Amino acid sequence: MKQFEVPSFYRSPIIGKVKAQRKLADPRKKDFSPSELTIGNITFIIPRHFGFCYGVENAIEKSYKAISENPTKRIFLLSQMIHNPDVNDNLQSYGLTFLQDTKGNQLIPFDSLTPDDIVIIPAFGTTLEIEQELRNRGVNIDTYNTTCPFVEKVWNRSEKLGELGHTLIIHGKHEHEETRATFSHSQKNAPSIVVRNMEETKVLSEAILGIVSEDQFWKYFENKTSKNFNFPEDLLKIGVVNQTTMLASETQEITDFLRETMILKYGEDQIREHIADTRDTLCYATNDNQSATYGLLENEADLAVVVGGYNSSNTSHLVELLERKFKTYYVKGASEINSRDNINSFNIHHEKIEQLNTFLPYKDQLKIIVTSGASCPDALVDKVIQKIVELHHPNETVENLLATLNL
């Protein structure tokens, strides 16, 4: 696996050593059981896999390379590099400016760009329409294009499926940058439709089976289909791909459900003619993060803390998994932990920050799960761990407690 040149302030003295030990002991990642790290009277349960993935490290390396190689040029990010506020804020501190927000709203008009400007394409990729808009203005978007290779893998698979006459079913959030980009690429080659969850998939299944009317179909999928989508003709032959940060298990569930739908309509002997096998498009890093989180669920703990940007899709899915069993707090960093009784935690269901008056239980020995999303630097996880240790051991210095670690 390639080693990326990521700024040292993103690295961590605690988590970095834990990961190095696990990598040495289990280089092929066959063991998804968590590690335990005891500091003072707290045992932190740390998943086998979390934090920066290949695509994120690639994007960060290229972004800082653009800064160092172009000291006299204007440098723009098409939108947020990744969904982490600390990373984006740091890049902006070097003078980088966003052209769009995460919803695709224009912050700086494209017609203000010149061929001398540098535009960085984020890890999520972008639409074909935006690519063409930038190229028409003479902007070089290839040198610092940080689109994740696993996102591009989905695009390439979509193209091949389209050539074989499949309609693309994209499991994702239709407003998310990556899904907008994937939709743009897929609809060039094939009819495409976005489904967010099993609820929408069941409606799609009923449309395939002829149970729902055309009006009912468009009620659910208006603005989520490609131009000139033909109902029901474009539902005869399908393939499922996903926004790489969605729950892989949910993508598989959606695929299996639609496969059963096709069997019901056409019979088992005709199934290969009506739905493609697309398991090879699932992102390895998302799979590893989620498998490691399932490993956490096999443990007992007093609470769980998930660290990451609040608009990070993959991080919100980790919260979704952990809160099935544990009291789970979702923070962007240690600054959200005010005291052992007070914490600002993001509620993924209401999409807002809540100030909660319960956090660390008043007991001597604590067991706490700590993890983070694929766009979160390990250094932020370190700071969260240190803040918790400081609150639970007010009469001891964090430095002294960390000095006892055998890492």
- The per-residue pLDDT of the chain, averaged, comes to 92
Q: Which DSSP string do the residues of 177-218 spell out, in sequence order?
A: HHHHHHHHHHHHHS-EEEE-SHHHHHHHHHHHTT-S-HHHHH
Structure-block tokens of residue 318: 């980790």
Q: What is the mean pLDDT of residues 32-53?
A: 94
- Give the three-state DSSP class for 301: coil
Provide CB contacts within 8 A for 322, sequence distance 6+.
293, 296, 297, 304, 306, 328, 369, 371
Q: What is the mean pLDDT of residues 77-82?
A: 87
CA dihedral (131, 133, 135, 138) in degrees, to 10, reads: -150
Lowest mean pLDDT among 4-8, 25-29, 245-249, 275-279: 4-8
Q: What is the pLDDT of residues 340-397, one digit of tens each?
A: 999 999 999 999 999 999 999 999 999 999 999 988 999 999 999 999 999 999 988 8
pLDDT for 359: 97
Under the banding of pLDDT at 50, 70 and 90, the label for residue 404 is confident
Domains, the chain, ordered by start: 8-53+285-402 (3.40.1010.20), 54-136 (3.40.50.11270), 149-281 (3.40.1010.20)
Q: What is the pLDDT of residues 145-166, one digit of tens each?
A: 999 999 999 999 999 999 999 9
Backbone angles phi, psi at 72, to 5 degrees: -105, 0
43 membership: H or E segment, kind and range? strand 42-46
Question: How many CA atoms are closer than 13 Å to the CA of 84, on its beta-carbon side?
Answer: 28
| Nearest-angstrom CA–CA distance, 398 and 395 | 10
Residue 64 Cα distances to 15, 82, 180, 328, angstroms: 23, 14, 26, 34
**168, pLDDT greater than 70:** yes
**4, pLDDT greater than 70:** no
64 membership: H or E segment, kind and range? helix 54-69
Helices (H) and strands (E) in the chain, counts: 13, 14
Alpha-carbon dihedral sign for residues 61, 63, 69, 71: negative
Under the banding of pLDDT at 50, 70 and 90, the label for residue 28 is confident
pLDDT for 405: 75
Share above pLDDT 90 across residues of the chain, in percent, rounded to a whole number? 76
Query: pTM of the predicted model, to two decimals?
Result: 0.87
- For residues 107 and 79, the answer to whether their CB atoms sit within 8 Å is no
168 membership: H or E segment, kind and range? strand 167-171
**288, pLDDT greater than 90:** no
Q: Closest Cα to residue 139, out of 71, 72, 195, 78?
A: 78
**74, pLDDT greater than 60:** yes
Provide CB contacts within 8 A for 216, sequence distance 6+.
203, 207
Q: Which residues are catalytic?
A: 178
| Single-letter residue type at 244 | T
